[in-house]
């Protein structure tokens, strides 16, 4: 079946672009796009969906278009016609502010829940114990650091988290203190993925968990990761796949909200009473720019840099869009395309 919904998404983007970004109409766009994506989530997790998801998503997009047109007709009641300025920053500049805002929203209970979630992800992939025991780990783009606690809890001897977000690192250090980790087995520092300041061949395990697909120069970051990793060292990579409704919908939603401030989207989800996890999910999906790839493309690129022995991992949860979930879903490929791509590999040259 043809992806007719893509034409509808293009119509939605065009409509959004034609509507001024005054405060009232920007809020109307945010609410319409949140509703669209949450409607899709209701069918996304249905593994035995009776109706083809292309048909359903087309109807959801039609609803969003009608909603926006209704708000457009009401624009005459808005007094302030000042529009939000266009964001002309680089990918790094935009994501620097966005993810600091998102990562620092979690309270300590929510933070600990995410640590447990990552521990489960390590365990279901068989990475607890001998794989991590006594190893030195570096995490590129650690955000607020909860994945790093998971590595420590699953046997690592030392974990270094790096991130270019000053507020994210401050949050990670404060959370470490609140959790009572007072030694130097876990450290966080502000550094770039292009230049970590770490020595050559100094880590047993290197991690990039959904970070490099946001960068301007992804391969330069992979080369830096390769540089600090010991020969034969292990890598955990996670990146977004391509194709499928899930990626098409979030990408179109982000483009429809291009000139709407991420802070306004965050304020709106908080006002609606959305929980912390969902605030992060929506804030990420409606703001962040992703570079999509395929298993073949990413493994070929990594091979040229000096990685090999690739193994595909799983996410470990039904809400993850990994290969095991895709294969159990009647419409898995239609919904998720390539799916989330999690890779375990080694530095081989």
List the pLDDT tens digit at each of the 349 positions of the chain. Answer: 788 899 999 999 999 999 988 888 999 999 999 999 999 998 998 999 999 999 999 999 999 999 999 988 887 666 666 778 777 777 778 888 888 888 788 899 999 999 999 999 999 999 988 889 999 999 999 999 999 999 999 999 999 999 999 999 999 999 999 999 888 999 999 999 999 999 999 999 999 999 999 999 999 999 999 999 999 999 999 999 999 999 999 999 999 998 898 889 988 988 888 888 888 889 889 888 899 999 999 999 999 999 999 999 999 999 899 999 999 999 999 999 999 999 999 999 9
Say how far apart CA 262 and CA 265 lie, in whole Å: 5
CB atoms within 10 A of CB 59: 12
Say how far apart CA 98 and CA 165 lie, in whole Å: 10
Say how far apart CA 155 and CA 249 lie, in whole Å: 39
Say how far apart CA 139 and CA 151 lie, in whole Å: 10
Say how far apart CA 43 and CA 57 lie, in whole Å: 9
For each of the domains in the chain, give its residue range(s) and CATH number, in order of start: 4-78+244-287 (no CATH), 95-242+292-347 (3.40.50.150)
What Å distances lie between residue 219 and 94, 214, 223, 233, CA to CA?
19, 12, 6, 18
What Å distances lie between residue 276 and 38, 244, 268, 343, CA to CA?
15, 26, 13, 28
Q: How far is CA 285 from the centre of its chain?
A: 7
Q: Tell me the pTM.
A: 0.92
The counts of H helices and E strands in the chain are: 14, 7
């Amino acid at each position: 079946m043809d992806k007719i919904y893509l034409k509808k998404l293009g119509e939605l983007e065009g409509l959004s672009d034609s509507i001024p970004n005054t405060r009232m109409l920007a809020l109307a766009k945010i609410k319409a796009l949140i509703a669209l994506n949450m409607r899709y989530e209701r069918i996304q997790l249905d593994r035995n969906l009776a109706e083809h998801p292309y048909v359903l998503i087309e109807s959801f997009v039609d609803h969003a278009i009608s909603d926006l047109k209704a708000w457009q007709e009401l624009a005459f009641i808005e007094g302030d016609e000042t529009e939000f300025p266009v964001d002309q920053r680089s990918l790094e500049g935009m994501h620097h502010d966005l993810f600091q805002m998102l990562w620092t929203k979690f309270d300590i209970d929510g933070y600990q829940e995410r640590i447990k979630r990552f521990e489960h992800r390590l365990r279901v992939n068989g990475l607890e114990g001998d794989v991590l025991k006594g190893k030195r780990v570096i995490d590129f783009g650690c955000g607020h650091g909860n994945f790093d606690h998971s590595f420590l809890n699953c046997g690592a001897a030392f974990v270094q988290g790096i991130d270019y977000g000053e507020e994210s690192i401050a949050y990670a250090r404060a959370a470490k203190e609140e959790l009572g980790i007072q030694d130097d087995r876990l450290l966080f520092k502000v550094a770039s993925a292009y230049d970590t300041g770490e020595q050559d061949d100094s880590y047993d395990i290197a991690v990039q968990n959904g970070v490099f697909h946001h960068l301007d120069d992804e391969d330069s970051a992979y080369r830096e990761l390769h540089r600090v990793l010991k020969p034969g060292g292990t890598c955990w990579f996670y990146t977004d796949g391509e194709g499928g409704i899930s990626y098409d919908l979030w990408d179109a939603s982000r483009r429809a909200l291009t000139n709407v401030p991420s802070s306004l989207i965050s304020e709106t989800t908080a006002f609606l009473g959305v929980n912390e996890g969902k605030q992060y999910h929506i804030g990420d999906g409606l703001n962040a720019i992703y570079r999509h790839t395929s298993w073949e493309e990413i493994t070929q690129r990594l091979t040229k840099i000096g990685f090999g022995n690739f193994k595909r991992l799983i996410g470990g949860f039904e809400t993850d869009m990994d290969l095991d979930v895709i294969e159990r879903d009647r419409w898995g490929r239609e919904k998720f395309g390539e799916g989330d791509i999690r890779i375990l590999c080694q530095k081989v040259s």
